[in-house]
Amino acid sequence: MVLGNYKAVCAARAADANIRNGAQDGGIVTAMFAYALEAGIIDGAIVAGPGEKPWQPEPTIATTVDELLAARGTKYNICPNMAMIKEATRSYGLDKIGIVGTPCQMQALRKAQLYPIGVRSVPDKIALAIGIFCMENFPYDGMKAIVEDHCNVPMQSLAKVDIGKGKFWAYTNRGAVTQIPLKETHKYEQPGCHVCLDYVANLADVSTGSVGSPDGWSTVFVRTAKGETIWGQAAKAGVFEVQDIGSVQPGLALVEKLANQKISGNQKYIEQRAGYGIGKTLNNPYI
């Protein structure tokens, strides 16, 4: 149950090396939106595009493949993509919207579709929702402190950031790599992330992350009928290289282990807070 409902799971990567090169992992998000755009399944996608400060993303509506490419890669700070859903229909006139987001953003999206208060123009226009796995996130200044003060890398020199194998990694444009243990980054996490009970974006049409698959590949859950149709069409068109998840290392067991760790750890925190009278003990279906 910690992995949510899904119809299929696999390891995959974009067949197009040009997409993969600037992508965070296997380029699944960018390749799937690019396919959906070109096939007319979506007429734009809400992504985390470049913002004013280095590595501070801004919710952006991409209506071309070039704009999707410019938004590749994970920015480890908050990008309120949901804030653009109304704008997407009103200012951009999109009828078929793609959106990428963290598990909490997928929850907000589904709530907005169920109870469209203030977003009446949106519910039936969400054509493809891609979720990304998420253990934690940081405010911009927190991420900046990690990169500049702990990794000793100026934000302007940063080429990529990653969290994996128990470490925070900072890669520079000149090829230097710095890693620090996650125990140094915990204090910068958003407090809201400590009450979050979804690791793998259970409510997305398709959700993806690096965990479970080899470097450069992604683990992909195909969750809804819509996701299954679009994923199937894209795979048939040769957009992805796909491997059986059972044939790769470390495999699904690691995804399950980390999902369990997040859910049970955060559930304990929720109960601790309830002891102080903050919030209620949730009826958690996972444990």
67 burial via Cβ count (<10 Å: 0-12, 13-18, 19+): middle
User: Does the bond joining 57 to the residue before it have cis omega, within 30 degrees of 0?
Assistant: no
Nearest to 124 by CA among 96, 85, 105: 96
How far is Cα 24 from Cα 30, in angstroms, rounded to an integer? 10
Nearer to ligand FAD, 25 or 198 (CB): 25
The contact pattern for ligand SF4, residues 75-114, with x = CB under 6 A and - = no contact, is ---------------------------xxx----------
DSSP one-letter code for 199: S
C-beta neighbour count of 253 within 10 angstroms: 10
Residue 205 has φ and ψ, to the nearest 5°, of -70, -40
Token look-up 């704008």 returns 87
- For the chain, first and last CA: distance in Å? 9
- Say whether residue 27 binds ligand FAD (CB under 6 A): yes
Q: Residue from 2, 12, 29, 109 that binds ligand FAD (CB under 6 A)?
A: 29
Per rule CB under 6 A, is residue 182 in the interface with ligand SF4?
no
Rule CB under 6 A: is residue 28 a binding residue for ligand FAD?
yes
Considering only 56, 107, 137, 185, the residue that binds ligand FAD (CB under 6 A) is 137
Per CB under 6 A, contacts with ligand FAD among 95-124 are: 100-102
Q: Give residues in contact with ligand FAD (CB under 6 A).
A: 23-30, 47-48, 57, 71-76, 79, 81, 100-102, 132-135, 137, 163, 208-211, 218
The footprint of ligand SF4 (CB under 6 A) covers 102-104, 134, 136-137, 190, 192-193, 196
